[in-house]
Amino acid sequence: MNLIDEINKKNLIFLNNKESFVDICKTQLNDLNQWINSNKNYPKILLSESDPILFLSAFVAAVTAKCPVFLCNPHWGEQEWMQVYQLVQPNLLISQGQISDYQNPCNNNHEILQNLIMIPTGGTSGNIKFAVHTWETLTASVRGVQEYFQTSTIDSFCTLPLYHVSGLMQWMRSLLTDGQLIITSFKTVEAEDWINFNPTDYFISLVPTQLQRLLQHPSLIDWLSQFQGILLGGAPPWLDLLEQSRFHQIPLALTYGMTETASQIVTLKPSDFLSGNNSSGKVLPHAQIKIYDENQEELKLNQPGLIKIESDALMLGYYQENFDPQLRINCFIPDDLGYWDKQGYLTLVGRQSNKIITGGENVFPSEVEMVIRSTGLVEDICVIGKPDQYWGEIVVAVYVSGFKQVNLVDLKQAIIGKLSKFKHPKLWISLEQLPRNSQGKLNQKLIQEWVRDYQDQ
């Protein structure tokens, strides 16, 4: 596959100078081919670029050269880079348009890694893992979205980082469907620099915290309502955010997906959302989902259980030393809980590992978080459990106040009658900010450490 020639034929709106882009791709491809010919092997490449043009040119060159490429967050700290280096043992680094050689020896298994695309995921653990994909798994995801929305082309307005699956797949959708692609930063959108752009034919992907911030700009509300669809994922949206969006006729498409499935596998169509549906939607054509109990018995409608995924876009597995693509996984159980309704819509309940058992009762943090958010008194919220001698676990609310003068008594009073009493937090901890990544995901491990340290005070 000569991806460079394919791109040269396309009219990609994000390329102000396509000839220059293609030249960069060809130069890097030539450098990679020279390395391959000299070393008789395929280099493991760390790709770390902040500039989207440099990122895509390096990605295209690496894929065309059949090199195993690991997408990296340029803003990782020293500890994260150390994790990645020890895991990957890379040969080359592409950063700021330059290729650097680590001078690491090549193992014999490099050849079986050719054509693999490793996408980073940290989940809520804070430990970096790489989901192993191929051009075929990423393509399957694109075709699933294309068929589900019954559109021949997909135009994308991308504000998310390209090293993340949510950003990369926007580029893939536009590339493989001959759609248009605009890449910009979320800051420029928030600054209303794109207010005169007509988004009627475009999809935009946002996380709930980004949508919340945009809705604070009256002039952007009408602009958002003009998109063909706003794919909302990355974290559970809260009820007030959904109701506010529906009031303004903003075409949300709630999604459920992950790095391991090359983005969305379940999506709610905007027409369903605007009609009052708050579920995650229906399964896309390239995937299958079943709901099981803890004994692996398949559950009936409206019975919450563990989600099991099969998909043409499913990763081959997580990268590890001596990874063998031939031993790819056939299904994936992501720790998520959900249930089907009789119309075939999937509703997410929470994560099995986050479930709090207090006094013998089950509490799902997402439900408590939604109620606390709906008070309008907090800017951000995380609910977790902590061990307790008497209750087994107690519910803890770690929150960021929405106003300087928020009184904890008022906050506690505001949720009375909205939650069963056993679901009320027994400990409230106020912080200035919660640790979220650029996709809005919380670092649960770090919050648990904060709660533990708070106990020791």
**Which residues, in sequence order, are CB contacts of 434 under 8 Å at separation 6+?**
380, 381, 382, 398, 400, 442, 447
Render the burial of 254-263: b for 16+ CB within 10 Å, e for the rest.
Answer: bbbbbbbbbb
pLDDT at 318: 96
End-to-end Cα separation, the chain, in angstroms: 60
Token pair, residue 403, equals 């106003």
Give the CATH fold of the 135-293+332-351 domain.
Answer: Rossmann fold (3.40.50)
Quick one: what percent of the chain has pLDDT higher than 90? 64
Query: Which residue intervals of the chain bear CATH 3.30.300.30?
Result: 355-455
Query: Could you tell me which residue, 260 or 16, shows the higher pLDDT?
Result: 260
Judged by DSSP in three states, 99 sits in strand
Across-strand partners of 317?
Answer: 132
Please tell me the CATH superfamily of domain 355-455, with its number: ANL, C-terminal domain (3.30.300.30)
CA-to-CA distance for 77 and 85, rounded, in angstroms? 12
Tens digits of per-residue pLDDT, 157-214?
999 999 999 999 999 999 999 998 999 999 999 999 888 889 999 999 998 889 989 9
- Quick one: pLDDT at residue 14? 56
pLDDT value for 110: 67
In tens, the pLDDT along 54-68 reads 999 999 999 999 999
Locate 418 and state its tokens: 């909205």
pTM over the 0.85 mark:
yes
Q: Are 199 and 226 in contact (CB under 8 A)?
A: yes
**According to DSSP H, which parts of 275-407 are helical?**
365-374
For residue 93, give the nearest of 49, 147, 146 by alpha carbon.
Answer: 49
| Bridge partners, residue 253, by sequence | 231
pLDDT (tens digit per residue) in 412-422: 999 998 888 99
Q: How many CA within 13 A on the CB side of residue 132?
A: 21
| Contact predicate 250/237, CB 8 Å | no
Quick check: helix, strand or coil at residue 198? Answer: coil
Strand (E) or helix (H) holding 350: strand 346-351
Residue closest to 452 by CA, chosen among 409, 388, 399? 388
pLDDT tens-place string over residues 396-407: 999 999 877 788
Q: Which of 5-14, 77-86, 137-146, 342-351 has the highest mean pLDDT?
A: 137-146
- Quote the CA–CA distance of 306 and 318 in Å, as a whole number: 20
CA distances from 124 to 246, 367, 383, 430 (A): 29, 18, 13, 20
What pLDDT was estimated at residue 299? 93
Q: Looking at residues 328-338, what average pLDDT do you find?
A: 93
Residues of the chain with CATH 3.40.50.12780: 135-293+332-351
Mean predicted lDDT score pLDDT of the chain: 90
> Facing residues of 206 across strands?
232
The one-character DSSP state at 271 is H
Which helix (H) or strand (E) segment is 263 a member of? strand 263-267
Beta-carbon contacts of residue 39 (< 8 Å; ≥ 6 apart): 91, 106
Beta strands in 13-97, from DSSP E residues, in sequence order: 45-47, 69-71, 92-95
For residue 224, is pLDDT > 90?
A: yes
- Chain centroid offset of residue 45 CA: 22
Nearest 5°: CA angle at 48, between 43 and 49? 125
Q: What's the chain's length in residues?
A: 457
41 backbone φψ class: left, alpha, beta (φ>0; ψ -120 to 50): beta
**pLDDT at position 124 over 50:** no
- Using only C-alpha atoms, what is the Rg of the chain? 23
Strands lying side by side in the sheet with 346-351: 287-292, 305-311, 336-340, 346-351
Looking at the chain, the whole-number percentage of residues with pLDDT higher than 70 is 94
On the CB side of 437, CA atoms within 13 Å amount to 25
3-114: which CATH architecture? Answer: 3-Layer(aba) Sandwich (3.40)
State the average pLDDT over residues 348-368. Answer: 87
Report d(CA 52, CA 161) in Å as an integer: 8
